Amino acid sequence: MSLYRIFINKALTGLLLVVLLATSNISFAADGEALFKANCSNCHKPDADYTGPALKGWSDREPNKEWLYKWVANPAQMIASDAYAKQLFEKWKPTVMTAFANLKKDEIDAIMKYVDDYTPPVATAQAGGTAAGSDSGGEDNTLLFGILTLTLALVAFILLQVNGNLRKLTDDKEGVNRGEPVPFYRNKMYLMIGVLVLFTIGGYNTVSGAIELGRMKDYQPDQPIYYSHKVHAGTNQISCLYCHGSAQDSKHSGIPSVNVCMNCHMAIKEYKGEPIIKEDGKTLDANAEIQKLYSYAGWNSEKNEYNPDNNKDGVPDGAHAIPWVRIHNLPDHVYFNHSQHVKVGKQNCQTCHGNIQEMPVVKQFSNLSMGWCINCHRESKVDFYNKETKEGNKFYSIYEKFHTDIKNHKLDSVTVEKIGGTECQKCHY
């Protein structure tokens, strides 16, 4: 009986292995493109040098096919023993190709066939670029309405004058003598209207100006480097917290030090995206901005390394911090903590800072007024702890009254205000 079972087990596992191997062969065999993308494309492009050389035209450069098989299986060993491999290494060092011992000969053949047959796709970027420009329908119409109002007022004024003249003419014809008409600038009606209009507009401007005193909404200063959030957070989808990580842990959302920029810009030396149009309408020389970064970082872009630290101050020679201009500033008598809002409150950065990922140069999106803070505290719901499902922030389990209220269906959610989010000393102390 047991012998029988062992036999079946063996047969089954054998079958399983056969099926596994067979399927893996089917899915890989001869699909050069898929193989290339899975194994090679991180370092090689078919038609251009990348981290490694362009693969197209390999057969003209390399000694023979056998050499290629050996190289792919173990580049490090080839560099040690083979002259051509050594020459390759000298050109591309310090990077050494990863060994792909698992690639079979026919798979390598398939990849190389794909590479040789590769033709770059026809560029379609042009169409996308022009489409973006025409989308400006929702512009500010204030000027248009202003001109319209002024024209209408002028027309009304002329019509009134014409009316006056016509009446004078008919009066003359009918022989009624009303005396000399009062000129418009001495007409008390006109003067009264004028004064009222000026008073209203002037009063409105004065009051709103006084309210706006000390608020810096729309402040959009030029920065020492034209750093585009649109390119980094928008196009390249880098998380806000990649650079501003301290927003999770501290009061401040920190400005990244230069080494964080260099994480990517050691490798990204030039800008190849769509041209960036500056606020003054000129096209930005983005590569010059990257060079500015290199000078702040003390990076030698020709040698591909940091400058030596000869003066022993802990940073490469010539490196210094970038003097970014601060945009958001709360008065000294307000306490605001980023980590509380980002980590506990789970707020998106965009809630307060606007669509940063669409701003080439950052501007202050909110007015950071107290009313604005309070309003959000009144409306936002906290991640209240649900005792039954055990979901939510466990800290809130201490609010006994709200728990009973929710249980008795008196409340359906708890806002920040309810847990003391609008008390003065939360922010002023």
Nearer Cβ to another protein, position 56 or 418?
56
- The SS3 call for residue 48 is coil
DSSP per-residue codes, 227-286: --HIIIIIIS---HHHHSGGGTTSSS-PPPPHHHHHHHHTT--S--SSPPBPTTSPBP-H
- Tell me the residue length of the chain: 429
User: Is 318 one of the binding residues for another protein (CB under 8 A)?
Assistant: no
Taking CB under 8 A as the criterion, the residue among 61, 282, 303, 333 binding another protein is 333
User: Is 266 one of the binding residues for another protein (CB under 8 A)?
Assistant: yes
* Stretch touching another protein by CB under 8 A, among 27-35, 69-77, 246-254, 370-378: 246-254
* Stretch touching another protein by CB under 8 A, among 69-77, 123-131, 234-242, 407-415: 234-242
DSSP per-residue codes, 107-168: HHHHHHHHHHH--PPPP-HHHHHHHHHT---S---HHHHHHHHHHHHHHHHHHHHHHHHHHH
Number of residues that bind another protein (CB under 8 A): 63
User: Is 152 one of the binding residues for another protein (CB under 8 A)?
Assistant: no
Nearer Cβ to another protein, position 174 or 313?
313
Query: At its nearest, how many Å lie between another protein and the CB of residue 156?
Result: 18
Nearer Cβ to another protein, position 172 or 305?
305
Give the whole-angstrom CA distance, residue 161 versus residue 171. Answer: 15
Contact 153, 146 (CB under 8 A): no
Cα–Cα nearest to 244, from 324, 331, 358, 334: 324
| Both structure tokens of 4 | 């029988």
User: Is 239 one of the binding residues for another protein (CB under 8 A)?
Assistant: yes
- Residue linked to tokens 């050069």: 32
Q: Please report how the helices 105-117 and 65-73 are oriented relative to each other, as an axis angle in degrees rounded to 10.
A: 110
| Both structure tokens of 34 | 């898929």
| Both structure tokens of 190 | 């006109």
Angle at 306 between CA 261 and CA 286, to 5 degrees: 45
Taking CB under 8 A as the criterion, the residue among 52, 298, 360, 421 binding another protein is 52
| Both structure tokens of 333 | 């008598």
Query: At its nearest, how many Å lie between another protein and the CB of residue 221?
Result: 5
Taking CB under 8 A as the criterion, the residue among 66, 106, 222, 309 binding another protein is 222
Taking CB under 8 A as the criterion, the residue among 77, 161, 257, 295 binding another protein is 257
Query: At its nearest, how many Å lie between another protein and the CB of residue 266?
Result: 6
AA identity, residue 386: N
User: Is 192 one of the binding residues for another protein (CB under 8 A)?
Assistant: no
Nearer Cβ to another protein, position 95 or 404?
95
Contacts of another protein in 91-110 (CB under 8 A): 94-95, 98-99, 102
Which value, to the nearest 10 degrees, does the dihedral of the CA atoms of residues 107, 113, 117, 118 take? Answer: 40
- The SS3 call for residue 306 is strand
Cα–Cα nearest to 253, from 115, 148, 349: 349
Contacts of another protein in 337-376 (CB under 8 A): 363
Find the distance separating the first CA and the last CA of the chain, reported in whole Å. Answer: 83
* Stretch touching another protein by CB under 8 A, among 43-51, 57-65, 136-144, 170-178: 43-51
Taking CB under 8 A as the criterion, the residue among 145, 157, 184, 242 binding another protein is 242
User: Is 245 one of the binding residues for another protein (CB under 8 A)?
Assistant: yes
Query: At its nearest, how many Å lie between another protein and the CB of residue 65?
Result: 24
User: Residue 295, Cα to own-chain centre: how many angstroms?
Assistant: 24
Query: At its nearest, how many Å lie between another protein and the CB of residue 388?
Result: 19
Residue numbers of the site for another protein (CB under 8 A)? 6, 9-10, 13, 17, 20, 38, 42-43, 45, 50-52, 94-95, 98-99, 102, 185, 194, 198, 201-202, 205, 212-216, 218-222, 236-239, 241-242, 245, 251-252, 254-255, 257, 259-260, 262-264, 266-268, 279, 314, 324, 326, 329, 331-333, 363
